[in-house]
Chains A and B, each alone.
Chain A
Amino acid sequence: MNVIACIKRVPDSAARIRPAADGKSINAAGVKFVTSPFDELALEEALRQRDEAGEGTVTAISVGPPECADILRSALALGADEAVLLSRGEEHRLDPVMAAGALAEEIRECAFDLVLTGKQAIDDEGGQAPALLAEALGVPFAPAAVALTVEDGRAVARREVEGGLEILEFDLPAVVSVDKGINLPRYPNLKGIMAAKRKPLEVKEAAGRSTGRLELVALEEPPPKGAGRILGEGPDAARELAHVLREEESLI
């Protein structure tokens, strides 16, 4: 089974985000970049599906600046067979149409059975790229899978919705986005890191254009939150809290 894992390079979840002078991108100085957490799950699932099938390859693809090579190397170290960097500037970051377009143009040319993505990237948090990608490729889309099994070209996924779990069935090839709970990603080991050096990492110019109908006007830091009120310690403060929530706030 040939599986493609789409991984995005994003600011570390603990990094402070400061808008750059243009007011539209982030100031990258001092910011550590990592693979988006849901995409780590997508990559892990890709490796497991390939190994389960007992044949095929895993290709990791990332759209972004040349530094995406770092997360692609990590993917190779974890067990991906090959990697593709679709080179693009910062403007892709908050434009899912552009990212999905670039991914679709590349993936269209591959013989793939399954494309795995994260549920959403932790920078733009759009959760749109997978659906756009599936539509562009003309294949089924299963969102936010917490479980995935494949047998004879047919897949079964589960996803959490309000009130419970839905079971989805579809034919491959397909795009599946993954949610927390689907697996626990493995850690890299020295052997993997050494092996990664001999694996192919191809760099190409990204295709995919913005529609021009979604324009980022401003990126700003959220207003700081005012200091809260410490009601005190222990059970007495707890009782006061209940009264405040009822009488001052009408929340309970």
Chain B
Amino acid sequence: MSWSTLAFAQVSQAVVNGTAREVVTVARGIAQAGGGETTALVWGPGGAAEAGRELVGFGADKVYCCELPGLEWRQPDLAAVTVAKLIKEVGYRVVVFPSTARGADVAARTAALLSAPMASNVVSWELVDDTLEVVRPVFAGRATATVRLSGGPVLITVRSNVFSPRPAQGAGVVETMAVEASSAEGRRGVRVTGFEEGRRDRLSVGEAPIVVSGGRGLGGPENWGLIEDLAEALGPDAALGASRAVVDAGWRPHDEQVGQTGKTVSPNLYIAVGISGAIQHLAGMRTSKRIVAINRDPRAPIFGVADYGVVGDVFEVLPALTEAVREVREGG
């Protein structure tokens, strides 16, 4: 069986987001290691297909574009039925999804439809004895599991920001694929009937390359301007995060919570401000590439995982940091 791979490239608002490039990069890597072709399935709203063609530049030999207007592209059963059908028809050996909320959902549904083995939140992979072996953090980052997925098809979701997108020239055959909207009917599925847009100006904490997170050390929600100013200074790549203590206190919304019972993130840069570093918080961010801690208590456990630490009062340190970030970024 050849190592042909399929990447489920979720595209939104006619923009290829980082995760789409990452899944294509992983799919391409596996296909090359095993000797096979890489296909990208671009799935998104109107205008997305055009943007998805960019993925040829990350190694896609073939791109199927599925553009669905309105709420159709949000229908999870439709996506899963379509992906499962394509997998069966073409016979892909490995299918790679992003570990975003939607990507993980479509992956789990597809795995269930095909009774295929699946591993989520993969952080590395290897071909061993003609099977795919992957590593994934378990027990909230307190252990790592090496898992072997045999036969085909097998499905993985890859953790965001772990695999750097690598430009590569694929054969680049681009086709529009018709999706039978009726194909998910007859199944007793769920229907997405509405969407309420969140903040448009910021990425969500799970996918952003930079996260600025605040904890109880900020003293109250009225001081969050300090966190927002720093994120603003860091540019559009930065998202806001929070500890559970401040979410439970109602200072910040649930969708910003990082940790065991919040989002698991692994940005290139995680800045923890006034966060003590409880094990449940570390669970959600310890695999970040670089961690910065700002805390007035030099013994705070967060310093134990930090690459860089500043000891001090947030009310003095943050304004100085924000100003210095603006200066160095503007300095070019």
Contact = CB atoms under 8 A, between A and B. Distances in A.
Interface of A: 11, 13-17, 19, 26, 37-38, 94, 97, 122-128, 130-132, 134-136, 138-144, 146, 157, 159-171, 174, 179-181, 211-222, 225, 228-239, 241-247, 249, 251-252
A139 B188 contact: yes
A168 B133 CA distance: 35
Given A37-B260, A164-B198, A231 B308 contact: yes
Contacts of A135: 109, 112-113
A164 B196 contact: yes
Interface stretch (B57-65, B170-178, B317-325): B317-325
A242 B207 CA distance: 23
Interface of B: 12, 17, 74, 76-77, 100-102, 104-105, 108-109, 111-113, 115-121, 133, 136-151, 154, 188-198, 200, 204, 206-207, 210, 234-235, 254-255, 257, 260-262, 264, 268-269, 278-280, 283, 286, 290-294, 298, 303-313, 316-321, 324-325, 327-329
Contacts of A162: 12, 17, 100-102, 204, 206-207
A230 B303 contact: yes
Nearest to B318: A238
A131 B80 CA distance: 11
26 contacts: A13-B280, A17-B143, A122-B139, A122-B261, A128-B111, A128-B120, A132-B112, A140-B190, A142-B190, A165-B196, A166-B194, A167-B192, A168-B191, A169-B193, A211-B117, A215-B147, A216-B147, A216-B148, A221-B143, A228-B303, A228-B308, A231-B310, A232-B310, A235-B320, A239-B320, A247-B328
B109 A131 contact: yes
A138 B105 CA distance: 17
Contact of A232 (B120, B292, B311, B313): B311
Nearest to B309: A230
A211 to B, nearest CB: 6
B111 A235 contact: no
Contacts of A171: 188
Nearest to B204: A162
Interface of A (DSSP majority class): mixed
A167 B194 contact: yes
A125 B279 contact: no
B324 A134 contact: no
B123 to A, nearest CB: 10
B195 A170 contact: no
A228 B307 contact: yes
